[in-house]
Amino acid sequence: MIAFGIGITLYFALPSEPSTVMLGLVFLGCLLGVRICLKRWDIGFMAAFIVFFGVLGLGRATWHTKSEAAPKLPSYERVYGVEGRIKALEKSGPRLRWLVEVAGMDRVSEGSVPERIRVTTYDRSFEVGDAVRFRAQLRAPPQPVIPGGYNPAFRAYYEQVGAYGFMLSKPEAITLPPLSLTQRWSFAVAKIRYGMADRIRTAAPEETAGLQVALLTGIRTWVPDHQTEALRVAGLAHILAISGLHMGLIAGGVYSVALFFLVRVEVLARRQDVRKYAAMIGLVAATLYLILSGMSVATQRAFIMASIVFSALILDRQAISVRSVAVAAFITLWIHPEALLSPGFQMSFSAVLALVVVYRAWDARRVYRGRPRWYGRIWENFKALSVTSLVAGTATSGFAVLHFNRIATYGFFANLLAMPFFTFWVMPVALLVYLALPFGLEALPLRLMSHGILIILAISHWVETWPGAIKFMASGPPWVMAAFSLAFIALCLGKKRTRIASTLIMAASFAVLISRAEPDIRISKDGAVAFWSVSGDPVLYVDRKNSDRYGRQEFIEALGIGTAMVRSFEDEIGQCDSLACRIEFKDRVILIVLDPSELTEDCGNSDWVIAPKRALGARMKRLCEAPIIDANDLQKLGAHTVYLGRNLIKTAHPKRPRRPWHKGWSRNFQRD
């Protein structure tokens, strides 16, 4: 399993697409090596076996990427007429973001029409499944706004979303040709989910309706922003994403209830192993929950794990083990190789692996003294919950820092206080809501569920007020994540010396983050220039305070700082007129040129030259010995980050786009 994951990681780390012919030859060679060494369990066999699974992971990722190729629009904005069906509704500030299955698009040839698009609108009169026509300003999915930052185009590629944009006209209802059987099933499930969401919002108390919809259907459109932020700061945001915890509570709850009633049928209980029948019922419940919750990648991971556990019970095998975790991870990565890079996959499986290892060691050392009394059982449950919160929180905290540059300082205490209410109140009542919905009796269980959620929210808001509730840390290079992940696996599965070495590697990973050099200048793709200073309070000197807000916030958080003061460099550190700005910053002179006529006059007295709004020709650039960044560089390479002391420039886009999700990729359908 580890070799398979390394092969997938290698695929995404490659600078260009691997040759399928070469992969096939290497795969056959490894298969032949395994066959030759099959009868001898020696180092040669193990090496061939490991290489075989590594090449298998590399090949599976290559194959999956080719199979997900779909058209996308050019990277420049343009107005299109679109016809399609609404597949999903998502929240986007005060607006809604529609995911539209495209049926037709004007100004685009038939073979270049995207499969899906995301478009924002203020219109709230349409529902999932409706066929609509509208005009929208669209472009290819956006690239990262900072070097090494989150890449929306990567996710869009594997979701076959070929364009992002916003609606310009009022949408009209239309009639489209009948759907295929698979499409009808997909839209029918989506309508059921959003229909459930509407009924829940109508019957549930207003202050918790959004969270209840999220927990029951996986739709987070109506969760208020302040509640999301409070849960995130308190380390409880994991309850919003339907994953192993939710699947375990729902499917495990159904299994326990079914087992309770089956055991009381004495004729059946004496002749049959009723645990197997209860496991079958639990598997059915897990499947229904998977469908109703939207079948996201995180929920699919949880379903695969639950299926393995219930199947082990049916087949008289050990249900919870490291082997079952490895099988679940292998199946998940075979279906979605790109999930290996997602924080959800890494955090969920790290938590499960750590819990399995810790509880296995705990059971080996536990002394059983018979069935305890009621207060003893309460104490045992409290200890188990405390250990679960501590282990899961510790296991996921490192990955949370590496992905989100933040850590909830009091997450353990918040989970210790809130999770009993979530585990023994909110989710059991959520099961009652599912049972009541077909009969129209959901109002009472929704109110009961709301009271438990209000307690969790109260805990979240309380923890949010504690000093230093959230800490930030700088982002690191990609290899840090790879080294940390392998060290974590070795820590869980290795022996004493291996665990000591793994702990040192994990500590060194964070030392790299702390010791990283800070950039001095940020230039957005659109030419917004900002200077970063940490002498005293962190300050970002900008040209226009209202421009590039999202990019600047991403830039600040990537430096390990939550907020910073924003000031105008024209008023503080610059000498500006209508033609240029001359800025003395950190013993360097930076010239921001608005008119190329100023370049010949001031270039010789500058250390760096930035022309954010004009593309300078080769002749103009030869006149200046200082490094130059112009509008042409920004359009081709995206946002720039400049390190003055090292004379280093990092760009958000690669100079030579060689992967399908990069801007400028020209194979298959991509033509920029």
The answer to the question of residue 195 being in a domain is no
User: How long a stretch of residues is the chain?
Assistant: 672
In a domain, 188, yes or no: no
pLDDT at 369: 61
- Residue 39 vs residue 138, higher pLDDT: 138
pLDDT > 90 fraction of the chain, expressed in percent and rounded: 15
Please say which residue of 67, 87, 122 terminates a domain: 67
Q: Does 114 reside within a domain?
A: yes
Give CA–CA dist 81/284, Å, rounded.
43
pLDDT at residue 672 greater than cutoff 50? no
Q: At which residue do the structure tokens 């020696």 appear?
A: 42
Tokens of 15: 């600078």
User: Amino acid identity of 585?
Assistant: F
Q: Is residue 427 part of a domain?
A: no
Is residue 589 over pLDDT 60? Answer: yes
Domain ends where: 67, 95, 119? 67
State the pLDDT at residue 446: 94
Tell whether 590 and 465 lie within a shared domain: no
> Is the domain of 219 the same as that of 317?
yes
Q: Are residues 335 and 465 in the same domain?
A: yes
Give residue-wise pLDDT tens across range 465-495: 998 888 887 887 888 888 888 888 888 888 8
Last residue of some domain: 67, 87, 105? 67
What global pTM score does this model have? 0.84
Residues 378 and 257 in one domain: yes
- Cα 450 versus chain centre, distance: 28
pLDDT of residue 275: 87
The verdict on 230 and 369 lying in the same domain is yes
Parallel, antiparallel or unpaired: strands 588-593 and 608-611: parallel
| 554 and 485 share one domain | no
- Pair (50, 86) in one structural domain: no
pLDDT digits (tens, 9 = 90+) for 228-262: 889 988 888 888 877 777 888 888 888 888 888 88
Lowest mean pLDDT segment, chosen from 55-69, 539-553, 614-628: 614-628
Half-sphere exposure of 231 (CA within 13 A, CB side): 21
How big is the CA angle at 322 (ends 318 and 328), to the nearest 5 degrees?
A: 90
pLDDT digits (tens, 9 = 90+) for 113-123: 999 999 999 98
What does the DSSP 8-state code read for residue 149?
Answer: -
- Whether 362 and 285 share a structural domain: yes
**Is residue 228 located within the same domain as residue 371?**
yes
Which residue, among 136, 139, 138, 140, has the nearest Cα to 157 in the 3D structure? 140
Residue with tokens 């009022």: 170
What CA dihedral angle connects 41, 46, 49 and 52, to 10 degrees?
Answer: -150
Distance of alpha carbon 109 from alpha carbon 559, whole angstroms: 44
Same domain as 387, residue 257:
yes
Print the domain residue range for 315.
Answer: 211-406+460-472
For residue 105, pLDDT beyond 80 = yes
Residues 47 and 153 in one domain: no
The count of structural domains within the chain is 5
Can you give the pLDDT at residue 670? Answer: 42
**Residue 34 reports pLDDT greater than 80:** no
DSSP 105: E
pLDDT recorded at residue 138? 94
In this structure, are 145 and 234 located in the same domain?
no
Write the CATH number for 150: 2.40.50
Evaluate whether residue 24 is within a structural domain. Answer: yes
In a domain, 133, yes or no: yes
Classify residue 144: in a domain, yes or no. Answer: yes
Query: Hey, what's the torsion of the CAs at 359, 363, 367, 372, to 10 degrees?
Result: 70
pLDDT tier at 600 (50, 70, 90 boundaries)? low
* Nearest-angstrom CA–CA distance, 321 and 504: 26
Calculate mean pLDDT across residues 75-96: 87
Flag whether 443 is in a domain: no
